[in-house]
């Protein structure tokens, strides 16, 4: 759902891809008289670029275009994460049933044969937009397009980043979906190090362009990993962390969830406004702790804070890392202390996990049969089945 569907005072934007100047002028005049904003493109290539840059609410495409024809344009728009859900109306002088079938197979939502009365064009446009609006309104604001899973701990050294990295890859393996790992430790993020990725781009390259996001922007700022996931890095220099504001974080989460099936967020162990923004705008919060007095105490304090923030218990999933450590505190005692069920337990990976971190090769890739890797995979499967609720409007 686009922002313009939420804001009725802003005119809905229609992208018209038509190389016939006379026809384009007529269609534009008719649609503008109905209160729509109309953006023109004379070719398929330019239409594709404008579709990713201008975020139209509907696209009208003529089949006969110079270069990329209308069918190819439809297929490319449907393959793009940013434009795949935008309604497409094909207009064409080709009126045979074979041509119409080709249009629908290419991804069009409707097909209008020329010549047609301008009123029919308006009715088709209104019908498509009404269908889109009905679909958007049918979705509760408690649900988002992609699932956001935040990993948080109020104490460092509990293995949170190691879990986040392996979990993101497991989600991609289990779902075959688009997964992005967001390093939200803005001061000392280590996700890139754990994955052996070069620090070319970071969230700073994204936040300055959030007013006009596009698939091209995604390719420029998200670093691909050999596992199939993509990574949004934290700032390279700690002093640059202050350039990231809470409003930026909320916009980044919204953008990433609109373009990915899963957004895994590795949070920093602080209660600053940015971290609280993440926690308030996620579907699930995996709270990582260990069987140590300090970690358990901090987790208990966090659960108290979560209650004050109005975060419901069902969004909180407690994960005990190194649960098999023989340190005098068992999982049942942790549950009694926290007064919250333990959702997940991870065995200690010992030197094998440390070695994988130092090599920059996540254990779930290097040794998928290791007990740690197998349990991470099981956690990913479980997280995929939990109902997707989001408290932020």
Q: Say which DSSP state 80 is in.
A: S
**SS3 label, residue 161:** helix
Task: Identify which of 386, 392, 180 has the alpha carbon closest to the alpha carbon of residue 281.
Answer: 392
Q: Is residue 337 within 8 Å of residue 329, measured between CB atoms?
A: no
Say what the pLDDT of residue 393 is: 39
Tokens of 388: 């997707």
What is the rounded average pLDDT of the residues 101-113?
88
Q: Is residue 14 within 8 Å of residue 125, measured between CB atoms?
A: yes
Q: Is residue 152 within 8 Å of residue 285, measured between CB atoms?
A: yes
More confident residue, 180 or 142: 180
Task: Identify which of 125, 148, 129 has the alpha carbon closest to the alpha carbon of residue 137.
Answer: 129
Residue 141: pLDDT over 60: no
Q: Say which DSSP state 239 is in.
A: G
The Cα–Cα gap between 121 and 319 comes to 55
Q: What does the pLDDT look like over 17-72, one tens digit per residue?
A: 999 999 999 999 999 999 999 999 999 999 999 998 888 999 999 999 988 999 99
- Lookup result for tokens 């002028």: 25
The Cα–Cα gap between 23 and 16 comes to 10
Q: Taken in order 90, 95, 99, 100, is the CA torsion positive or negative?
A: positive
Residue 325: pLDDT over 80: no
């Amino acid at each position: 759902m686009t922002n313009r569907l939420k804001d009725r005072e802003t005119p809905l934007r229609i992208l018209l891809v038509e190389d016939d100047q006379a026809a384009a002028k007529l269609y534009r005049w008719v649609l503008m008289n109905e209160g729509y904003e109309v953006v023109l493109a004379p070719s398929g290539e330019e239409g594709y670029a404008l579709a990713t840059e201008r975020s139209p609410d509907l696209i009208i495409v003529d089949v006969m275009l110079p270069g990329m024809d209308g069918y190819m344009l439809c297929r490319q728009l449907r393959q793009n994460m940013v434009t795949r859900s935008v309604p497409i109306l094909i207009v064409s002088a080709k009126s045979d049933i074979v041509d119409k079938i080709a249009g629908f197979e290419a991804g069009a939502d409707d097909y209008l044969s020329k010549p047609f009365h301008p009123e029919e064009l308006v009715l088709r446009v209104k019908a498509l937009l009404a269908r889109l609006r009905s679909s958007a309104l049918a979705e509760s604001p408690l649900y988002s397009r992609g699932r956001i899973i935040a990993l948080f701990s109020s104490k460092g050294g509990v293995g949170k980043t190691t879990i986040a990295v392996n979990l993101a890859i497991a989600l991609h393996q289990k779902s075959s979906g688009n997964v992005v790992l967001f390093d939200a430790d803005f001061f000392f993020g280590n996700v890139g190090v754990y994955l052996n990725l070069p620090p070319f781009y970071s969230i700073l390259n994204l936040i300055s362009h959030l007013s006009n996001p596009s698939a091209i922007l995604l390719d420029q700022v998200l670093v691909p990993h050999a596992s199939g996931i993509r990574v949004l890095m934290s700032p390279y220099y700690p002093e640059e962390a202050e350039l990231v504001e809470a409003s930026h974080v909320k916009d980044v989460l919204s953008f990433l969830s609109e373009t990915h099936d899963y957004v895994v967020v590795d949070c920093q162990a602080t209660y600053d406004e940015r971290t609280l923004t993440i926690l308030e705008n996620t579907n699930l919060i995996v709270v990582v702790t260990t069987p140590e007095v300090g970690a358990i105490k901090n987790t208990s304090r966090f659960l108290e804070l979560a209650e004050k923030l109005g975060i419901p218990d069902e969004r909180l999933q407690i994960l005990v890392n190194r649960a098999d450590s023989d340190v005098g505190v068992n999982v049942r005692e942790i549950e009694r202390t926290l007064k919250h069920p333990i959702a997940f337990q991870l065995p200690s990976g010992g030197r094998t996990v440390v070695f994988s971190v130092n090599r920059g090769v996540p254990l779930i890739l290097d040794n998928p049969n290791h007990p740690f890797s197998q349990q991470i995979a099981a956690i990913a499967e479980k997280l995929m089945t939990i109902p997707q609720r989001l408290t932020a409007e």
